[in-house]
Amino acid sequence: MAESTEIRRPMRWHIAVFLAPAVLVYTAVMIVPLFGTLQLSLFSAEGQTRVFAGLDNFRTLFFDPRWAASFWNALWNNTWFFIIHMLVQNPIGVVLAALLSSPRLHFSAFYRTAIFIPTILSFVIVGFAWKLILSPLWGVAPNLLDLVGLKSLFTPWLGKEEYALTTLGLISVWQFVGIPMMLIYAALLSIPDEVIEAAECDGITGMAQFWKIKLPLILPSIGIISILTFVGNFNAFDLIYSAQGALAGPNFSTDILGTFLYRTFFGFQLQIGDPYMGSTIASMMFFIILAGVCLYLFAVQTRLRRYQF
């Protein structure tokens, strides 16, 4: 009786070879700077020397009146910026995807392209262009409103504290609504035809079909879009900086964590840069994003798996 030999699977070294360049680049560009930032937040400067400070920088950020007011203001503004995208951008993206996925709609490819084009534009171009459009001196917005008899509604939205952040949030929605639209559009197209045909046989058509059949099936995609929106908005910086500058005016009403970090780390005008407190703010941004992602993965994603095929 011949001895049975155990079959060993060959080592797939080619997988490691192909992954190695991406892993090395990601580690050098993301992982190493991240740990360097976390390490730097635990130190402070005494004269020209660096000394270990433990969590003193975090206590200063939270409880020192000079730092705490700016930090909590930036955190609240960042939260409101995120809420605008969740309540405006993502629902509009779902509606647009539902309309564009209809087989009765003509020129849907043209509409998808037109809506998605702002997404590929530079933040600098978008911020500067909208700053010109909404300018009360040379902008076209007052003239356009005057043509329809609504000039009385115009106000310098970017120049008033109560409107500036919401205006920038809506500008960001205009630029990035194409991303949730395309992701939801792809999710709608991935629904098997058998499911739709079964719903039609049961007399479920039109809006009822979307609410009862399609929407539950695309909930996992909506969840992914929500967490991407969260991460993107709490990393935001470019649009605020290009439209309102590093001071995020007027009177810091558009100041978010990204601009607050920039001024603190690099310094601005008469403010001297402090890399240790800047690293502390960056670490807090990382912890906030990490907490949000973990909350989604362990509390939301597990419940959404039941809707996946």
86-108 pLDDT per residue, tens: 999 999 999 999 999 888 888 88
From residue 215, alpha-carbon distances to 29, 210, 220 in Å are 38, 6, 10
Buried b or exposed e, range 145-165, using 16+ CB within 10 angstroms: eeeeeeeeebebbbeeeeebb
- With the C-alpha atoms ordered 254, 258, 263, 264, is the resulting torsion angle positive or negative? positive
Q: What is the pLDDT along the chain (309 residues), one digit of tens a residue?
A: 445 555 667 767 878 889 999 999 999 999 999 999 999 999 998 878 889 998 999 999 999 998 999 999 999 999 999 999 999 999 999 999 999 988 888 888 899 999 999 999 999 999 999 999 998 888 889 888 888 888 888 889 999 999 999 999 999 999 999 999 999 999 998 888 888 888 888 888 778 888 888 888 888 889 899 999 999 999 999 999 999 999 998 999 999 999 999 999 998 887 788 999 999 999 999 999 999 999 888 877 777 666 555
Tokens matching residue 244? 């309102």
DSSP character at residue 159: G
Q: Is 248 left (phi over 0), alpha (psi -120 to 50) or beta?
A: left
From residue 268, alpha-carbon distances to 246, 260, 261, 272 in Å are 8, 11, 11, 7
In angstroms, the CA 71 to CA 308 distance is: 40
Which domains, ranges and CATH numbers included, belong to the chain? Answer: 21-307 (1.10.3720.10)
In angstroms, the CA 158 to CA 244 distance is: 8
